[in-house]
Amino acid sequence: MDSISLSEVTVIRRTHLGFMHSFKQPFSGVTRSPKFCSSKVEGSNAISSSVSSTKSQFGKGESLARIADSGYKMNGVNLKNRTLISSVKERLLLDVYDDEYGGVVVDHGKLPSNPYEFSSMLRNSLLNWRRKGKKGVWLKLPVEQSELVPIAVKEGFEYHHAEKGYVMLTYWIPEEEPCMLPANASHQVGVGGFVLNQHKEVLVVQEKYSTSLNTGQWKLPTGFINESEEIFSGAVREVKEETGVDTEFLEVIAFRHAHNVAFEKSDLFFICMLKALSDKIIIDNLEIKAAKWMPLVEFVEQPMIKGDKMFKRVTEICEARLRQRYCGLSPHRLVSTFDGRPSSLYYNVVDGNDDDDPSHSTCTADFY
């Protein structure tokens, strides 16, 4: 029987429910770049050779699969035959779940433990999916079954992404159609906190691990946001972890987009204005060498800030915000009926467009 665990179904269904671009989510059949999966793995079997070798080597299995498949759909087959056919089919084909875009998702909870059995089932399944006109195949291999990875690669599967517990492989079947499988996550997200206290002092840190270029520099506290963490709470957490200072998030005042930063991925870095709620500094010895409150005028005058286009501009923006001459984007928690997913929409607060959320700071609000 084609089946899959409930959690897997949830994950897949979830991917179709995005904001306005839901149809572009993974498993949606639409990708940003066909090149991600259109070419075949070098040194592994090409599809055609795989098919032909499978045909000769697994000729019997193939025809059994055909019988099993037709038998499965047939009415009027007596119980004995049906059971026989079903057990033959179960041995020969991998359990899958159809996605909504003409593809299949292999049920990773029902993978055979024997690599030879897996190899044979995978080959038969590929023939079966091809015959049925299936498009993309998703094969998630748990780390406990890593011995199946080379087998899948040999059959022409490609790595798609990996997390600690598994590696996801994909196979695009239609040779005449461009590969429409979606790509992997592409960005890491960082936050930097511009924290000001009531004495117009900026919270700055010196890093323990720094390149020779920035050794001894006083900088804003920064860090990556955690998995599923909000930008606004991530900024508050990072400042607290590194310096011990409690803060209130005000606005994203700017963000920087850079490429090829880590593992050839891109980086989005959000510069956040935060209001200090406490003064006492307790540094995190693991990553911070020193932290202190530095008068804003002194911060601005640092050669590293003054002499650099980017740092200078960011500092100017922060100063403009303090003079209420600048308006960043503030977060608003909203649930869209479209997908029912709670999410944060970051936008300016102007022109009375924030009547649903009057408690939130506006750009004309004083810092202190």
Of 100-119, which residues contact a copy of itself (CB under 8 A)? Answer: 100-101
Name which position in 2, 248, 338, 365 contacts a copy of itself (CB under 8 A).
338
Q: Select from 52-60, 87-95, 105-113, 147-155 the region that touches a copy of itself (CB under 8 A).
A: 147-155
Which residues are CB-neighbours of 299 under 8 A, at least 6 positions away? 202, 204, 218, 305, 315
- The answer to whether 106 and 96 have CB atoms below 8 angstroms apart is yes
Dihedral over Cα of 226, 232, 233, 236: its sign = positive
Is 98 a binder of a copy of itself (CB under 8 A)? no
CB of 78 to a copy of itself, least distance (A): 38
Q: How far is the CB of 75 from a copy of itself (least distance, A)?
A: 29
* Minimum distance from residue 13 beta carbon to a copy of itself (Å): 9
Q: Which window, 54-62, 91-99, 117-125, 320-328, contacts a copy of itself (CB under 8 A)?
A: 320-328
Residue 19 contacts a copy of itself per CB under 8 A: yes
Of residues 127, 137, 149, 125, the one with CA closest to residue 181: 137
**Quick one: 81 or 146, whose CB is closer to a copy of itself?**
146
Task: Read off the tokens for 311.
Answer: 């740092």
Which x/- pattern, by CB under 8 A, does the window 297-316 give for a copy of itself?
A: -------x--xxxxx-xx-x
Interface pick for a copy of itself out of 2, 3, 32, 298 (rule CB under 8 A): 32
Q: How far is it, in rounded angstroms, from Cα 312 to Cα 306? A: 5
- Contact flag: residue 143 with a copy of itself (CB under 8 A): yes
CB of 361 to a copy of itself, least distance (A): 16
**190, 197, 203, 236: which one contacts a copy of itself (CB under 8 A)?**
190
Q: CB of 202: closest distance to a copy of itself in angstroms? A: 13
The DSSP secondary-structure symbol of 24 reads G
Neighbours of 217 (CB within 10 A): 15
Measure the CA–CA gap between 352 and 111, rounded to whole angstroms. 57
Binds a copy of itself by CB under 8 A, chosen from 322, 346, 362, 367: 346
Site for a copy of itself in 46-85 (CB under 8 A): none
Nearer to a copy of itself, 110 or 332 (CB): 332
DSSP collapsed to 3 states, 280-299: CCCCCCCCEEEEEEEEHHHH
- The token pair at 124 is 């038969």
x-marked contacts with a copy of itself along 217-256 as a string, rule CB under 8 A: --xx-xxxxxxx-xx---------------------xxxx
CB of 76 or CB of 340, closer to a copy of itself = 340
Residues whose CB is less than 8 angstroms from the CB of residue 323 and which lie 6 or more positions away in sequence, other chains included: none
Q: Which residues of 260-298 are buried (b: 16+ CB within 10 A; e: fewer)?
A: eeeeeeebbbbbbbbbbeeeebebbeeebeebebeebee
* Selection from 209, 202, 219 nearest residue 308 by Cα: 219
